[in-house]
Structure 1
Amino acid sequence: MEKEVQGLQRRLRSTRKEITSGLSMVLLFGVMSIVFGSRFWLFPMVFVGVVPVIQGISRVGGIKSRLRNFGVDPETDDSPRIPEPGSREDTSVQAKILRAAQNRSGVLTPAIAALETGLPIERVDTELQEMAGKGYVSMEVTDTGRIEYHFDEFKPR
């Protein structure tokens, strides 16, 4: 997950540079059109400046949305807020998931866990997979293909 966030942050920076470059080309060819009094310069201005700016702006929105899904503020260049395993914040995420499991009689899906904890579904899903990998919880796939995580400690007896 951390590598994907870093990749998205690189793409966001690159896309912003493309937008800046496109705006520079619009300015350059616009000035050339005015100075030389020729409409010929409008043609390259559109293809070298305007089109890249429009494409870049459309990509920025999608990248920002995906970063927000990971709980990262796209307006800052800070490293992603992904807690280190065993850190206080990571333990807090686990505690939220455990409380959600307790409230749901020991059975959670990633969607329910995200709803109960208020965390992004990607973060909850990653944490549940890690917990299952360590043997803290069992993962089962239902006949309909739904993934459920079973916390035996919280199941009614």
Structure 2
Amino acid sequence: MASWIDKTENFFQGLKRLSPETKYELGNALLIAGICSIFLLSSYPGIWISMLIVGGLIKRRFRWVKKQRRDLGFNLNKLKKGVLSDEQIVRFARIKGGVITPAELALETSLTVEEAEERLMKLHSKGFNEIKVSDKGFVVYDFHHVLPSLNDKINAKKLDLL
């Protein structure tokens, strides 16, 4: 059985893996909890004072990190144009069920619809997808032949190399 020291160490290791935005929100939560505990636990000032101090420190530290990232031009919700690789596009297609449109790719990245269509056409020329037209006339790119289903993986035949 793990000691309380091991449990505490594991807890703080988990906190280190959180994103700065999550830590910032954790600071907000501690501040709110500290303010609420003033009214609920007024006879235990050490609890709410420590919550306010810790929450304020966390919030202050990661407000600065968030501001620095914004000042450097990071948009955490979108991928940068230069960084977007073919692998990322295929992963995005897998998330979307193996079929995507240029508009969907453009919405999730910093690419324009034309650039997204161009990138998907390049992948088509490499054999990564098939181009299909929906009933409503939308051009969709189907990645199913490069993304095997779970059933395909389960029913795969044994390969004898020797």
Measured against the shorter chain, the TM-score band is 0.3 to 0.5
TM-score by length of 2: 0.37
Bigger helix fraction = 1
TM-score by length of 1: 0.38
